[in-house]
Amino acid sequence: MRSRVAVVVLVGLCLLTGCSSERRGTPSSEAVVAPSPAVSKAVISATPGDGTQEVPAEGPVKVTVAQGKLISVRLADAKGGEVAGRIAADGSWAPDGRLTLATPYTLDAVAEDAAGLKAAQHVAFATLAPEHTFAAFFTPEDGSTVGVGMPVSLRFSRAITDRAAVERAVTVTADPPVPVTAHWFGNRRLDLRPEKYWAAGTKVTLALRLKDVQGAPGDYGTQSKDVHFTVGRSMVSTADLDAHTMTVREDGRVLRTLRISGGSPEFSTYLGAMVISEKYPVTRMNSQTVGLGDEYDIKDVPHAMRLTNSGTFVHGNYWAARSVFGSANTSHGCLGLADEKGGSDSSPAGWFFEHSMVGDVIEVRGRDGDQVPPDNGLNGWNLTWAEWRRGSALGLH
């Protein structure tokens, strides 16, 4: 009974005092609406878009902004490793280098408009996981000591169509410094050398930065490696086919003059500078492997050192009469030195084998014979420096 009286009294009070919305202002049933915050006019655009997969290593990755300017951009891989980049004169941002393949990335950009209001953009993408890769097999070996004629020679596991991209990813530096230039022999071989033979004692570094470099459509490099080698003493020998002699010089000083037998008139020895690329205490020489049918098959050729890929060697010879050395050219194109069956260290061939190393040079001279092709072995020295430079994919002249 008491609560009913309270309700009546309350209604009466409202009637007496005029509890209306017109007198009190805002209706009690409506909430007060706060003003909207100011929004930046800057509009950020990022390439690639959020969620993009199989982005090539070379991108493109780019950030632009309209009606504002970029303040910061951070591009990082899943481990937090940041990719350096810079804002260009037009206000856009791009990374300084290539991305790593098969890697997820996040990109965070911040920009501001003329009023100083900031806008942000977050993008996540992943780079391509290639199905096909290529590698470079290099000569000489890491840590080796070689002769003054040894070029750096790379042979690729796949054919290279973008030679310029691959060549830019390969550098050779020397101490003491000397300019080194690359030359392509076809689409699978790249050699690098200075204008003249290396100076004795030079320390050379090959830097392979082929990882994620696209050598051909869909084929990406896998290597990021440094190779170091040292140039030993200078040994350059001169083989005179007409005089049937080979003069051996070390650091310009004559060590010994050896009697030789070169290629016969029918199978003349190549002329030109030839580099020792391999050494074998004993090897088999079969004429069928060099396209000469059943001319010969010698299973135990001693003290053999390769000069060309096609089968030219300087080697010991125990089967010919000693009288031919120094007087007649009787071989199938090789340079023969007197030796004994099984190889004798005290023979002319044994002495020359022990005093030689991979990378030493034999310069062959004579009235007859063809010039050795520069890609037949490590024999690019037979090109002039101008010819060599024209073999670069970087437009050198």
Tell me the three-class secondary structure of the chain, residue by residue.
Answer: CHHHHHHHHHHHHHHHHCCCHHHHCCCCCCCCCCCCCCCCCCEEEEECCCCCCCECCCCCCEEEEECCEEEEEEEEECCCCECCEEECCCCCEEECCCCCCCCEEEEEEEEECCCCCEEEEEEEEEECCCCEEECEEEECCCCCEECCCCCEEEEECCCCCCHHHHHHCEEEEEECCCCCEEEEECCCEEEEECCCCCCCCCEEEEEEECECCEEECCEEECCEEEEEEEECCCEEEEEECCCCEEEEEECCEEEEEEECECECCCCCCCEEEEECCEEEEEEEEEHHHHCCCCCCEEEEEEEEEECCCCCCEEEEECCCCHHHCCCCCCECCCEEEECCCCCCCCCHHHHHHHHCCCCCEEEEECCCCCECCCCCCCCHHHCCHHHHHHCCCCCCC
| pLDDT at position 38 | 83
| pLDDT at position 27 | 47
Instruction: Look up 315 and say whether it is catalytic.
Output: yes
Strand partners, 170: 208
Question: What is the token pair recorded at 55?
Answer: 């982005």
pLDDT along the chain (397 residues), means of 10: 37 38 45 70 94 91 96 91 94 94 92 92 90 92 97 96 97 98 97 98 98 93 96 98 98 97 94 97 76 71 94 95 96 95 96 98 96 98 98 86
Residue 61 in contact with residue 97, Cβ under 8 Å?
Answer: no
Instruction: Look up 334 and say whether it is catalytic.
Output: yes
From the candidates 315, 332, 355, 397, which is the catalytic residue? 315
pTM above 0.85, yes or no: no
Quote the CA–CA distance of 104 and 101 in Å, as a whole number. Answer: 9
Residue 120 in contact with residue 73, Cβ under 8 Å?
Answer: no
The one-letter code for the residue type at 339 is D
The one-letter code for the residue type at 354 is E
| pLDDT at position 21 | 40
**Vertex 29: Cα angle to 26 and 33 (nearest 5):** 65
Domains observed in the chain: 43-126 (2.60.40.3780), 132-232 (2.60.40.3710), 235-382 (2.40.440.10)
| pLDDT at position 78 | 83
| pLDDT at position 316 | 96
Residues in the chain: 397
| pLDDT at position 33 | 61
Query: What strands lie across the sheet with 136-139, from one edge to the other?
Result: 136-139, 152-156, 189-193, 181-185
Quote the CA–CA distance of 221 and 162 in Å, as a whole number. Answer: 12
| pLDDT at position 293 | 64
